[in-house]
Amino acid sequence: MTRQTIIPFGPQHPVLPEPIQLKLVLEDKKVVGAIPSIGYIHRGLEKLAQQKDYIQSIFLIERICGICSFLHSMAYCQGIEEMMNVEVPPRANNLRIIWAEMHRIHSHLLWMGLLADSFGFESLFMEIWRCRETVLDIMEETAGGRVMLGVCTVGGVRRDIPPELIKKVLATCDELQAHFDHFIPSILNDYSVKQRTVGVGVLTKEVALERGVVGPVARASGVVMDHRVAKYGAYANFDVEPQIEQDGDCYARSKVRVRELYQSLDLVRQSVATLPEGEFNIPVKGNPDGEVISRVEQPRGEVLYYLRGNGSKFLDRMRVRTPTFANLPGLLAMIPGCELSDVPVIILSIDPCISCTER
């Protein structure tokens, strides 16, 4: 019988930006099993949200994640609005789409840079992150924050985007598209990138469905699932086609995210083109009562908020299931059979966000 060795992988690892922790079971250099350890950065945010009033919680909820923060607040506000029968002004819905899709772009670029870094392609990493700065700059100009925007609120958004900045948003979309056209061939066509990603960390469609994975991880395995299709908020006005690949490997997951970059640019442009005039928030009175489920498609996949109000300003329950939480069982199916050196690339290919997962 081959001798098995168990080695800890993370939570501190030079390649991984997130403190994911796995116990890898190895036979020589081949990984035959992986067991996740969770809790290293558990902060008790769900409990804390129940001790803040439902408006204060928006700022707390944005801090669940340092990457897709706006989408957390959007999902939460959407749920509270449903509970309180608040109809958000159409302009606010479009503005939310603009910021949500910008978040998707900056998140995918962040991931793409890290993937390049994980297999030592540092010039590509710097090129992609330089491009990401463009998105952060326009978010800062329009919202006042580069990642933590603090603009989403119950009843709409806190800030409008004035016409001169709308023009700048469109100019930024053009600039980003030119950047993408420049570096994306390096991701999709480069020999060394393909050597590290094609056929690595395969997740078949059957296993993806069985493990309940979401977002680009599911779509790269041929699962047609993108919650924007369910037409929440202003997505009701746009057709969003899920970006699907069939191979289920790290390369397929990269291709899905690459195509989603262009798709997000299109959605920002459509949202600007159809931006209605009028107010961007409405005053909200009363307190939430009842229970709702609110779902939003984040860059990593579907996030679910379960909110339970009791008629006071404090919630009985704020529960969040983040996409990485759903993707961890899928990750455990991708790793067995790979080489130890492929593990960082496979982990990065699900774009893990452990801050979200552990809350």
The residue ranges that bind other proteins (CB under 8 A) are: 35-39, 42, 44, 46-47, 82-83, 209-212, 227, 229-230, 290-293, 302, 304, 306, 308, 316-317, 319, 321, 325-326, 328-329, 358
Residues facing 34 on adjacent strands = 24
**Complete edge-to-edge strand list for the sheet that includes strand 315-321:** 289-298, 301-310, 315-321
Shortest gap between Cβ of 179 and other proteins (angstroms)? 33
Q: Pick the closer one to other proteins by CB: 260 or 358.
A: 358
- Report, in Å, the least distance between residue 346 CB and other proteins: 18
Nearer to other proteins, 179 or 359 (CB): 359
- In this structure, how many other beta carbons lie within 10 angstroms of the beta carbon of residue 229? 14
How far does Cα 5 stand from its chain's mean position?
34
Tokens coding 225: 């699932």
Whichever of 113 and 301 has its CB closer to other proteins, that residue is 301
- Measured from the CB atom, is 162 or 311 closer to other proteins? 311
Helix (H) or strand (E) holding 82: helix 69-83
- Tokens 């759903």 sit at which residue? 326
Could you give the CA distance from residue 10 to residue 15 in angstroms, rounded to a whole number? 10
3-class DSSP state of 86: coil
Output the smallest distance, CB 266 to other proteins, in A: 21
The CB-of-69 to other proteins minimum distance in angstroms stands at: 21
C-beta of 37 vs 341, nearer to other proteins: 37
Q: Is the bond leading into 14 cis (omega within 30 degrees of zero)? A: no
* Smallest distance from other proteins to CB 209, Å: 7
Q: How far is the CB of 41 from other proteins (least distance, A)?
A: 10
Q: Which is nearer to other proteins, 112 or 213 (CB)?
A: 213
**Which 3 state secondary structure label does DSSP give 127?**
helix
Structure tokens at 185: 């061939």
CA distance 202 to 73: 33
Q: Give min distance, CB of 120 to other proteins, in A.
A: 32
Residue 230 CB, shortest distance to other proteins, in Å, is 4
Distance between CA atoms of residues 155 and 153, nearest Å: 6
Nearest to 301 by CA among 359, 235, 250, 243: 243
Q: What is the rounded CA–CA span in Å between residue 24 and residue 30?
A: 10
What is the closest distance, in whole angstroms, from the C-beta atom of residue 39 to other proteins in the complex? 4
CB closer to other proteins, 157 vs 220: 220
In the complex with other proteins, the residue whose CB is nearer, 20 or 184, is 20
Rounded-to-integer distance, Cα 60 and Cα 56, Å = 7
**Count of Cβ atoms closer than 10 Å to residue 346 Cβ:** 23
CA distances from 12 to 20, 60, 252, 290 (A): 8, 26, 27, 42
Cβ nearer to other proteins, comparing 181 with 239: 239
